[in-house]
Amino acid sequence: MSGAAGCRGGGGERGPRWRRPWKLLALGLLSASSVLAAAPGAGAMSKEEKRRLGNQVLEMFDHAYSNYMDHAYPADELMPLTCRGRVRGQEPSRGDVDDALGKFSLTLIDTLDTLVVLNKTKEFEEAVKKVIKDVNLDNDIVVSVFETNIRVLGGLLGGHSVAIMLKDKGEYMQWYNGELLHMAKELGYKLLPAFNTTSGLPYPRVNLKFGVRHPEARTGTETDTCTACAGTLILEFAALSRFTGTSIFEEYARKALDFIWEKRQRSSNLVGVTINIHTGDWVRKDSGVGAGIDSYYEYLLKAYVLLGDDSFLERFNTHYDAIMKYISQPPLLLDVHIHKPMLNARTWMDSLLAFFPGLQVLKGDIRPAIETHEMLYQVIKKHNFLPEAFTTDFRVHWAQHPLRPEFAESTYFLYKATGDPYYLEVGKTLIENLNKYARVPCGFAAMKDVRTGSHEDRMDSFFLAEMFKYLYLLFADKEDMIFDIEDYIFTTEAHLLPLWLSTTNQTISKKNTTTEYTELDDSNFDWTCPNTQILFPNDPMFAQSIREPLKNVVDKSCPRSISRAEESLGTGPKPPLRARDFMASNPEHLEILKKMGVSLIHLKDGRVQLVQHAVQAASSLDAEDGLRFMQEMIELSSQQQKEQQLPPRAVQIVSHPFFGRVVLTAGPAQFGMDLSKHKSGTRGFVATIKPYNGCSEITNPEAVKEKIALMQRGQCMFAEKARNIQKAGAIGGIVIDDNEGSSSDTAPLFQMAGDGKNTDDITIPMLFLFNKEGNIILDAIREYEAVEVLLSDKAKDRATIFKGKTIPNYIIDSNLEMENMDQKLSENDSHKQNSEEASSASQDVGAVSEEPEEGESSDVSDLDSLPPAQADTDSVSTSDQDSSIPGPGEAGAPEPACTQGDEQPQEQQTETESDSKVNWDNKVQPMESILADWNEDIEAFEMMEKDEL
């Protein structure tokens, strides 16, 4: 390992205090050359293939960056579906997500040091000049302290770090005189008013112009912040102090970290997700390594590396012990209650925890890093991307994927630690999936639903700041870099801070007075400075042997999280009853419920209700078992209700210029063709029917025959509409909501019910689109006379869609220029049009059942599904209006918890798509009225959005 001369080995012996602790880990990377050869059969990737993939990453970056600069700058972000910039206040609010936007050209600042990592020094020089000339930080706008720190302050400091490096080399940036650092200092002072609290924890938001307490600030009334929000400041603030010699920034960041450390739960050494900034009380008492906490742990370890303060390492190791004791349940990482760490707080994981294997590499704990990373990779192979949240049996919990980089980050660190070419293949998969499923003509679009492949008009700044940086570094050799990356440490936003800051302007005492320890605890130092011979003990099959049992974990097994109480008791008593085994008619089960403080009530309508009174339990352990039972029962009841619903369907526009890139999430019908049983779907050109409501005989059958009919919702039953268009010769139907502005993003999944009669006579597929999604098709018809769509259960790969057609080369061949495609279309496609791409996507994210708060005296679970009565969920509307069954919180029924041989994504035999830049100079008026941004206002999801969303 480079720079590890002063480090003790992995054997655990106590060495002297390190005077230059950055030498401990440098970037936390073990030299790949020092690791034993990869396992036989892993297949070392050739230099040519690595170079090809590295060049592909560069091309992808160019596609995203140039589209931002051409279509969005100076706006904060690019909206890749509508090819325009996202300006806060000019687009519909997305809630907390918009707190990252401050009218300061966010994406450009966030991307500065990425340009240098990718050897784009000329572009970097131009970008720095633009930032200096155009960016204004004195805006009357309320922003997130956390997001502004990691993205903007971090981006300016990272840009400054590489600017002075280039200047020292003598070729570029000779004119540079610290302008980015001056802007960083200005921004740092604008963030300081947020720290005006007695605790030292910052307010979550600040007004860039007026601060917090000013009458015009429109902030300062908040009481709560997430742990990561307050604990992810030290790297940027300390670097600002070290660069400028102004100590106040580092002092404030340290004070916030000290306060969080003092407020940890002392018996478990865990911290909660949300804390009151005035009192220090934990508002949310669940603890994990994902959203709301993640980068707090990351910054403790990295603060030690950068600043050389032993207390940060001491704190990290103390927390890490607790994480591995309570939260780590390999390969899972599950949230627990800080006061009852043996009790799981939820049965699902969020995607932000994907950073943790990378942090474990920095720690030197390789085995669990390999295990968790492999589990995440198997989930990705099933869904193409990592869903925002997924259950312990790997079903989708929240289906979005905003192109997060955390998994790529961990892949890079694991490759650097092991040298195993397996991780190069993982990176190759990530590149292919981005090109196949997220690439659009104006950039890369976030996935609205990984199950259907639908898009969201969103490309966050972290995609450019982090994703391409980690992917390029994964495939780059040392000779490909113009500087030594191991001279820098990555922030949580992957910005580069030089390690020499550890010895510069040390105005802060290294030892924090708040720590209760006077000497380091040796037991917490295991693996702090790993010895590769211990990590890989003369066994070239080491990493492969860890991964192998997890290869089929997603599809062929149903892992159940083992209760920590079960584990700790060993051969002693086990939790007496699980919800899935409960029978209301079993006297023994009723006796067990009574012991757990749970009583059963038979309601007059035949339903069964369960109520828990913890004080009536036989013991505290029984009360804990009762709480777990109630949580399981609530989830089981919810799942049974969801399984009675149909999953969402997809409407994919396949004609020019969309070519399958635009995917709209549609509601299913409980009658007609079941698209899930017809994998090829139904494909055809669309036609608007007359009358538009479809409630009487179709008067333009010649226009509808062999087409997919478009019609308006209302005035009659859905089944009646279907019969009328089927009689006119239509091969399918799409019903468009007549409620202006409706979107599946803000409404439950809509399912079209029958009319109470036998609907076996309806054989064509019918789908429902909300108003905004439907208008995308209607607008396309107005601009292009012939619009062809594919109705299916989920989005199809474009190589499959165009198989056997005369235009597939453009769709498949990543190297074919746009001009060649246009020429082929003019020769082979009689329906050639010119257009901008427009897309809308939707996914129904449901409210998550609230977990019982600690200290509540009772829990109630109203279980329609329990004996002796079965809830009637097949009610039918008898009105003369459209009938519908709104979907549950999840956007469709979950996948079976355990199925053998679940369908895997079909192996692609084609090259990954890499479209050349589309010339949109002649595009028509953007469709602002159609493509509003999606309002993600679900309360549980907002908690996640406070951390890097």
Does residue 902 have an active-site annotation? no
> What is d(CA 324, CA 329) in angstroms, rounded to the nearest whole number?
8
Helix (H), strand (E) at residue 190: helix 179-191
Does residue 548 have an active-site annotation? no
Rounded to 5 degrees, what angle do the CA atoms 52, 55, 59 make? 135
- Per residue, the 3-state secondary structure of 776-836, as one string, reads HHHHHHHHCCCCEEEEECCCCCHHHHCCCCCCHHHHHCCCCCHHHHHHHHHHHCCCCCCCC
> What is d(CA 526, CA 13) in angstroms, rounded to the nearest whole number?
9
> What is d(CA 520, CA 317) in angstroms, rounded to the nearest whole number?
10
Q: Which of 674, 665, 644, 667 is nearest to 893 (CA)?
A: 644
On the CB side of 709, CA atoms within 13 Å amount to 35
Q: Which of 461, 441, 439, 448 is nearest to 77 (CA)?
A: 461
The catalytic position among 147, 310, 374, 486 is 147
Our measurement of the distance from residue 287's CA atom to the centroid of its chain's CA atoms, rounded to an integer in Å, reads 19
Q: Is 418 exposed, middle or buried (0-12, 13-18, 19+ CB in 10 A)?
A: buried
Q: Which of 456, 496, 550, 286 is nearest to 839 (CA)?
A: 456
> What is d(CA 222, CA 205) in angstroms, rounded to the nearest whole number?
8
Residue written as tokens 């210029």?
Answer: 657
Tally the residues of the chain: 949
Asked if residue 625 lies in contact with residue 634, where contact means CB atoms within 8 angstroms, the answer is no
β-pairing verdict for 732-736 and 496-498: unpaired
> What is d(CA 488, CA 486) in angstroms, rounded to the nearest whole number?
5
- Sequence-distant (6+) residues with CB within 8 A of 832 are 656, 825, 826
> What is d(CA 597, CA 785) in angstroms, rounded to the nearest whole number?
67
For 743, the token pair is 């979107």
> What is d(CA 437, CA 758) in angstroms, rounded to the nearest whole number?
39
Residue 785 φ/ψ, nearest 5 degrees: -60, -40
The catalytic position among 250, 294, 309, 420 is 294
Asked if residue 947 lies in contact with residue 146, where contact means CB atoms within 8 angstroms, the answer is yes
For 610, the token pair is 């369960």
For the chain, the distance separating the N- and C-terminal CA atoms, rounded to the nearest angstrom, is 34
Our measurement of the distance from residue 532's CA atom to the centroid of its chain's CA atoms, rounded to an integer in Å, reads 32
The catalytic position among 286, 388, 393, 945 is 388
* C-alpha dihedral sign at 488, 490, 494, 496: negative
Q: Is 246 assigned to a binding site?
A: no
Does residue 126 have an active-site annotation? no
Residue 908 Cα distances to 434, 799, 904, angstroms? 14, 8, 11
Does residue 171 have an active-site annotation? no
Hey, how many other C-beta atoms are within 10 angstroms of the C-beta on 425?
A: 14
Asked if residue 905 lies in contact with residue 381, where contact means CB atoms within 8 angstroms, the answer is yes
What SS3 class is residue 332? Answer: strand
Residue 693 Cα distances to 340, 665, 743, 789, 827, angstroms? 58, 22, 20, 20, 38
> What is d(CA 288, CA 326) in angstroms, rounded to the nearest whole number?
9
Partner residues linked to 142 by β-bridges: 207
> What is d(CA 50, CA 30) in angstroms, rounded to the nearest whole number?
20
Asked if residue 176 lies in contact with residue 164, where contact means CB atoms within 8 angstroms, the answer is yes
Q: Which of 403, 406, 405 is nearest to 459 (CA)?
A: 403
> What is d(CA 55, CA 470) in angstroms, rounded to the nearest whole number?
14
Binding residues for Ca(2+): 492
Kindly list the catalytic residues: 147, 294, 388, 406
Binding residues: 492
